[in-house]
Amino acid sequence: MTWEVLAVFLGSSLRLATPLLLAGVGELVSERAGVLNMSVEGMMLTGAFAAAIGSWATGQPLIGLGIGIIAVIPVALIQAVLSNTLRANQIVTGIGINILVLGATTLGYRELIGARSRTEIPGLSMWSPPGLGRIPVFGDALFEQVWLLYAGLAIIAITALVLRYTSFGIAIHAAGAEPRAVDKSGLSVSFIRYCCVLFTGFMSSLGGAFLSIGDIHTFTEGMTRGAGYLAIASVIFGKWKIGGTILACLLFGAATALQFQLPTLGIDVPNALLIMLPYLLALLAVGGLAGRQTAPRALGEPFRR
Amino acid sequence: MSDIRSRYSPLGRALSPSLLISMAAVLAAALIGLGLIFLMQVSVPDAIAAFIDGTIGSPYSLAASINRSIAFALVGIGFVFANRANLVNVGGEGQIAVGGIAATAVALYGGVENLPLGLPYLLPLLAAVLAGAFWGAIAAALKIKAGTNEVISTLLLSFIAVWLLYWTVQSEHLLRKPMTNSATLPESLEIPDATKLPLLTGDYSFPLHIGLPITIVIAIVLGVVLARTLFGLQLRAVGLNPAAASRAGISYARTVLISLAVAGALGGLAGGFMLLGEQYVLKDGFSSGYGFDGLVAGLLARGSIVGVIAAALLFGFLRSGGINMEMVAEVPTALVMVIQGLIVIMLAGAAYFLERRPG
Amino acid sequence: MSTATALATASERVPSEPLLTLQGVTKRFGSLLALSDASLEIRPGEIHCILGENGAGKSTLCNLVFGAHTPDAGTMTFRGRPYRPSGPADALAAGIAMVHQHFSLVHDMTVIDNVVLGQERGIINTKAWARRLEQLGGDYGFALDPFAKIDDLSVGERQRVEIVKCLIREPRLFVLDEPTAVLLPDEIEALLDVCRRVAQKGCGVVLVTHKLAEIKKAADRVTVLRGGRLVARSDHPAQEIDALVRAMIQGELQSLDKSAASALGVAEEDGGGPHRPTPPETPADEVLQINGLTVIDGQGVTRLDNFTLSVGRGEIVGIAGVEGNGQSELGAVLSGMATPTSGHVYVGDIETTELTPKEITATGFAVVPEDRHATGCILELSVAENIFLNRLDTFTSYGFLSRGALTAAAGELMTRFDVRAQTPDVPFSALSGGNQQKAVLARELTLPNLKVLLAAQPTRGLDVGAVAAVYGHIRKACERGAAVLLISSELDELIAVADRIVVLYRGRIMGSCAADPTEREKIGAMMAGQLQ
């Protein structure tokens, strides 16, 4: 294995991990506040679809990105209203949204673009941090990525700071661990959870948009293919901490990258098994290979005074 | 008020808020669906006609609709059964897939063709059941050992199973039929006639197979188990308060294992029925969508086995009608998914209004 | 910030403008009338005690004042203006702060983060807050490490965090709901001292309690609740204790079962006494033997340390100690819900250390758990199903449950144990706390081969009548020859009921002595961690 191959592998891993990173950190924030968003998959797909359509219709990927973000708001609101105000079963809600979005985006795609599938859609441009791109061997392959990745990393860094050092971060932590404490301090558990779910929607739509207009430059039906569930698994794997979640996403990204990398190395493993690998890893992760998980105590439970 | 009615009078029970909510959700979703058809500039009467034609337009389509319902019913019953213990099995599609793989493997290569007494199709069915049970048991083991959320684990297992299916039909070392030329499709050989499920009427234009009576028997048996037996109460106890149930001597591990294994087994059986009763050839993606349909039927039923049967019939017909609508009236089947998604969301939200009963 | 100084001049207890008034306040929960036509007033600078036994409506009153519920009828005014809080935020904004019976602290956050919750926006200035905390501690006479994690604190320390959370807001009304139930005797003194200091600054203090001793020590005025109604008032409570007791329980203290009187926190001078024929002098028949039981939890903290104890036939051994010193872990291991790190437990000849709950029950080991809602019952199931929860298979044939037999048998037991419910088939949640506990006792004490009874905090939250019933059942079990292990944080209860007392502190046995009122100080010292 040469350095060039390694560099390409790392670069691919990073690229494939990006949607998971975005959605995973978004979901982390919601789960910390006590909301289990099974609908991450649906939110990602919404972002992917809306961004693709927006970019295709206007020819401007940036506008597409914006439309992707706007489109996810109603989806996130449905999740938020059902989980918080109506105190619905969060798992059932999430699955329902996923089914609805899958159907709606497939329908929408057929109606709007239809037979002209595989249409090339204007995509987001690449970017490389100044200087890093010129490192020999690694520079180009590893650091030349869609700019959305770097924007996402910046958002993730800010999120980590907010969770750790601000009053809102403390409120989020409390809302997931002991919502009564939040209520008795005069804050609104509902408001905190609404904000977090909307944030998850925002990040998930970015992750989805990355898939369609960042990476592949096209939309295919159901293109998220379970990425949303991998994101949820990464939060569990990462024990509800940002650092752990990021590592888990990178790991899943690397596992996905193997699918493209091993054949070039002449290693002959059936493609299906390689595609399966991230899900298998995720299963092992949630199955306790990463140690007993300690979820926020109020995770998945609607709050009632 | 409605509390007393539903408790003491059969009519009251039939009109219980739960049933009304389910019906209202279905109705509302259907109306929205019709609205979408209108927006797609498809003639609504045409669409409806295509729908009806696809469901009961001919004996063949009727049988096909019912056969579909059987698969949904089994997954839905499995869901309700496990849900009594507060376990949410979302891996129906994967369980169907492994069931289908097992059934095909045994039918083609298990040497069962010449056995007497119906064994040529019973043994593959048994293999399907065991495969599904095993798939469900994996999630149970993870839950027992590590407290893993079974929603995530059954879902991930489902993805894994689907890719397992893909591999199975792609690989010549597995079930792919021998490649005679480069255009050979990735699918298995057709199963021998002896292993195909006998039809109820023996008439291929009305291909309703013995899966139907088997499913009805299973529904009755499990319904009775849930309502009248000690095990049914134990399931309920574990679902409501696992710690207290444990202290009272009810084995948490045994209960979780049995519930998820049964749910998986029923999914596997559905896969077996689909292969041995209708499709006869193992193909990639044959289980696609069946898991979710069954799941939604289970949710719609709100814990009642009878409800599952009704919902399964509804979705079976919905899917058949949808397929025909796509072929004839150009309404994509994705519309059916939209309707299902709406139903689930409305049901999820409706629980809030059910709580507000006076007294 | 400076309002405290403005009120400080009203330091003498001169009747002044009332701070909070309630007029005809009524609150219903479903069919239960929790509070009926309550009218009272709280004055600034006073310590006003709300006295009443469990179930009298005290917590409801507090929750209404704090905005957790809204009254069905009646009005409230605060500082002269109509007061209609729709939630805790309104109460806090008005200047009312409350320490609840069940703490709501975020377990894996630090003290300072818990205090800051809801108090600031934007980036937290940790240093400034730490300084404020230390200052507050100085003002009110207690120390608190701002950077300690709640998980690592004792119950008394956690309560201090709750108090700090309130006082840092400089409230005008400070409400405490049954604060002393979880405290050591020394800590109770410290708490009352804090209340006095707070009152001195001009803040009104409402102390909800059912302990007469506290009334004697700290109350300026007292209001008595019984069955949701205000039945008495006193401006000189220390002199009118007997009248207050009469109002609270509608009877005389002397007529009460001596041990039940302990529930009111006034174990009298000669409490205890020979309440049973002959307490065994030497543990002739050791029924329960616990040897060197050690429990180290997942974080490496030793919860139970080399615990060794024997209980003989017909003997009641009390385990004293404040919550959080290993009682839960002891109960969990004994009932089969957890395995110890090392050590052995024997019931008679059978080793039960690693047995399942089912096997342990089969040896004749009965458990009344400290949190019955967690492991003692399933609220959504019926009373009958709960009463026979651990022997449902005796009503089963070929797998089918005979409901008729189950209901009939349950009805019989309910009569015997005075469990009051409409029918045996109503949900368990429909029963009052006292009846629920009686139902649990009905299940546990009817084990065919009853050898040991483990009762953890069995009378917590129960009214005097239910308390007396529980003690009666415990004594009957003794007479049948069962060995009783009674875990309780109520010292008076143990002195009144047990034969001997063993004190648990940080998982270790500090010492043991006879259950005699003369040993009260020694026991109290041991509970606080002082070896004898």
Indicate whether C317 and C206 sit together in one domain.
Answer: no
- Interchain proximity C92–A185, CB inside 8 Å: yes
Indicate whether C240 and C327 sit together in one domain.
Answer: no
CA distance C375 to chain B (A): 4
* Top-ranked range on mean pLDDT: pick from A137-146, B74-83, B283-292, C140-149: B74-83
Domain final residue pick, C204, C234, C253: C253
C425 closest CA partner among C485, C383, C458: C383
Burial pattern C342-375, b for ≥16 Cβ within 10 A else e, equals ebebbbbeeebbebebeebbbbbbbbbbbebbeb
pLDDT range class, residue B4, cuts 50, 70, 90: very low
pLDDT range class, residue B8, cuts 50, 70, 90: very low
* Cβ proximity of C386 and C443 under 8 Å: yes
Whole-number pLDDT of residue C5: 40
Percentage of chain C exceeding pLDDT 70: 91
Taking the Cβ of residue C325 and every Cβ of chain B, the question of whether any pair is shorter than 8 Å is answered with no
C2 inside domain = no
Please write the tens of the pLDDT for every residue from A240-288: 999 999 999 999 999 999 988 888 777 878 888 888 999 999 999 888 7
Does residue C465 have a pLDDT over 80?
A: yes
Whole-number pLDDT of residue B6: 33
Is C102 exposed, middle or buried, given 0-12, 13-18 or 19+ CB atoms closer than 10 A?
Answer: exposed
B146 inside domain = yes
**Which chain B residues are within 8 Å of C399, Cβ to Cβ?**
229-231
Tell me, what amino acid is at C242? Answer: D
Does residue C11 have a pLDDT over 90?
A: no
**Which chain C residues are within 8 Å of A190, Cβ to Cβ?**
none
Tell me, what amino acid is at B341? Answer: G
Whole-number pLDDT of residue C184: 83
Does residue B217 have a pLDDT over 70?
A: yes
- Interchain proximity C105–A305, CB inside 8 Å: no
Average pLDDT over residues C178-194: 87
**Which chain B residues are within 8 Å of A103, Cβ to Cβ?**
334-341
Whole-number pLDDT of residue A141: 78
B1 inside domain = no
Does residue A6 have a pLDDT over 90?
A: no
Average pLDDT over residues C445-454: 93
- Interchain proximity B243–C396, CB inside 8 Å: no
Strands (E), chain A: 126-127, 145-146
Does residue C352 have a pLDDT over 90?
A: yes
The CATH number of whichever domain residue B332 belongs to comes to 1.10.3470
Does residue B34 have a pLDDT over 90?
A: no
SS3 C265: coil
Alpha carbon separation from C370 to B317, C333, C373, C374, C506 (Å, rounded): 54, 14, 9, 9, 18
Select from A166, A174, A183 the Cβ nearest to the Cβ of C88. Answer: A183
Please write the tens of the pLDDT for every residue from A9-52: 999 999 999 999 999 999 999 999 999 999 999 999 999 999 99
Indicate whether C405 and C485 sit together in one domain.
Answer: yes
A257-261, long-range: CB within 8 Å, 24+ apart, which pairs?
A257/A9, A257/A12, A257/A13, A257/A16, A260/A12, A261/A5, A261/A8, A261/A9, A261/A12
C313 inside domain = yes
Taking the Cβ of residue C110 and every Cβ of chain B, the question of whether any pair is shorter than 8 Å is answered with no
Does residue B253 have a pLDDT over 50?
A: yes
Whole-number pLDDT of residue C255: 65
Within 13 A of C423's CA, how many CA atoms are on the CB side? 6
Indicate whether C352 and C454 sit together in one domain.
Answer: yes
B239 inside domain = yes
Beta bridge partners of residue C291, listed in sequence order: C344
Does residue C206 have a pLDDT over 90?
A: yes
Please write the tens of the pLDDT for every residue from B42-71: 788 888 888 888 888 888 888 889 999 999
B2 inside domain = no
Indicate whether C245 and C296 sit together in one domain.
Answer: no
- Interchain proximity C335–B359, CB inside 8 Å: no
Joined together, the tokens standing for residue B134 give 């095993």
Indicate whether C385 and C470 sit together in one domain.
Answer: yes
Whole-number pLDDT of residue B9: 45
- Interchain proximity B240–C399, CB inside 8 Å: no
ipTM of the complex: 0.88
Domain of residue B194: give its range: 17-176+185-355
Does residue C4 have a pLDDT over 70?
A: no
Joined together, the tokens standing for residue B52 give 């009806």
Percentage of chain B exceeding pLDDT 90: 47
B351 inside domain = yes
C413 inside domain = yes
CA distance B60 to B204: 8
Whole-number pLDDT of residue C140: 86
Please write the tens of the pLDDT for every residue from C284-342: 578 999 999 999 988 788 999 999 999 999 999 999 988 889 999 999 999 999 999 99
Please write the tens of the pLDDT for every residue from A182-227: 999 989 999 999 999 999 999 999 999 999 998 888 888 889 988 9
Domain final residue pick, C253, C270, C297: C253
C165 inside domain = no
C23 inside domain = yes
B3 inside domain = no
Computed from CA positions of residues C345, C350, C351, C354, in that sequence, does the dihedral angle turn out positive or negative? negative
Say which residue, A29 or B347, is predicted with more confidence: A29
Chain mean pLDDT for chain B:
87
Domain of residue C523: give its range: 286-527
Alpha carbon separation from B183 to A130, B187, B188, B280, B284 (Å, rounded): 50, 12, 14, 20, 16
Phi-psi group of B35: left, alpha or beta (phi > 0 → left; psi -120 to 50 → alpha; rest → beta): alpha
Does residue C277 have a pLDDT over 60?
A: no
pLDDT range class, residue B176, cuts 50, 70, 90: confident
Burial pattern B16-32, b for ≥16 Cβ within 10 A else e, equals bbbbebbeebbeebeeb
Put the strands of the sheet holding C350-351 in their side by side order: C302-312, C286-296, C342-347, C350-351
**Which chain A residues are within 8 Å of C117, Cβ to Cβ?**
167, 170-171, 174, 181-182, 185, 187
Select from A181, A183, A187 the Cβ nearest to the Cβ of C105. Answer: A181
Please write the tens of the pLDDT for every residue from A64-119: 999 999 999 999 999 999 999 998 888 889 989 999 999 999 989 888 877 566 66
**Which chain A residues are within 8 Å of C91, Cβ to Cβ?**
186
Indicate whether C224 and C298 sit together in one domain.
Answer: no
Does residue C511 have a pLDDT over 50?
A: yes
How many domains does chain C divide into? Answer: 2
Whole-number pLDDT of residue B251: 94
Joined together, the tokens standing for residue B254 give 């045994």
* Nearest chain B residue to A229, by CA: B152
Gyration radius of chain C's alpha carbons:
24
Measured over all CA atoms, what is the biggest interatomic distance in chain A, rounded to whole angstroms? Answer: 63
Average pLDDT over residues A281-299: 81
Indicate whether C292 and C245 sit together in one domain.
Answer: no
Alpha carbon separation from C182 to B197, B261, C179, C460, C498 (Å, rounded): 69, 46, 7, 11, 20
Indicate whether C238 and C307 sit together in one domain.
Answer: no
C157 inside domain = no
Give rounded-to-5 percent helix, strand, coil for chain C: 40, 25, 35
B233 inside domain = yes
Does residue C267 have a pLDDT over 60?
A: no
The stretches of B277-333 forming alpha helices (DSSP H) are 290-300, 305-329
CA distance C336 to C465: 31
CA distance A97 to B292: 12
The CATH number of whichever domain residue C182 belongs to comes to 3.40.50.300
Joined together, the tokens standing for residue B11 give 């009519």
B11 inside domain = no
C32-42 and C47-51 as β-strands: parallel, antiparallel, unpaired? unpaired
Whole-number pLDDT of residue B358: 40
Please give the distance of CA C224 from its chain centroid, rounded to a whole number.
20
Subunit partners of chain B (3 or more CB pairs within 8 A): A, C
Indicate whether C389 and C292 sit together in one domain.
Answer: yes
**Which chain B residues are within 8 Å of A293, Cβ to Cβ?**
146-147
Alpha carbon separation from B114 to B110, B193, B306 (Å, rounded): 11, 11, 38
Indicate whether C197 and C296 sit together in one domain.
Answer: no
How many domains does chain B divide into? Answer: 1
How many contacts (CB atoms, under 8 Å) link A and B? 148
Cα angle A235, A94, A286 (rounded to 5 degrees) comes to: 30
Burial pattern B229-265, b for ≥16 Cβ within 10 A else e, equals bbbbbbbbbbbbbbbbbbbbbbbeeebbbbbbbbbbb
CA distance C111 to C130: 10
* Cβ proximity of A68 and A205 under 8 Å: yes
Residues 15-54 of B with CB under 8 A from A: 36, 40
Alpha carbon separation from B224 to B218, B299, C478 (Å, rounded): 10, 19, 44
CA distance C98 to C94: 12
C113 inside domain = no
Whole-number pLDDT of residue A292: 63
- Interchain proximity B334–A87, CB inside 8 Å: no
CA distance B284 to C300: 51
Tell me, what amino acid is at C448? Answer: P
pTM of the model: 0.88
Whole-number pLDDT of residue C115: 93
| Domains of chain A from N-terminus onward | 3-289 (1.10.3470)
For chain C, the first-to-last Cα distance in angstroms comes to 47
pLDDT range class, residue C270, cuts 50, 70, 90: very low
Subunit partners of chain C (3 or more CB pairs within 8 A): A, B
Is A223 exposed, middle or buried, given 0-12, 13-18 or 19+ CB atoms closer than 10 A?
Answer: buried
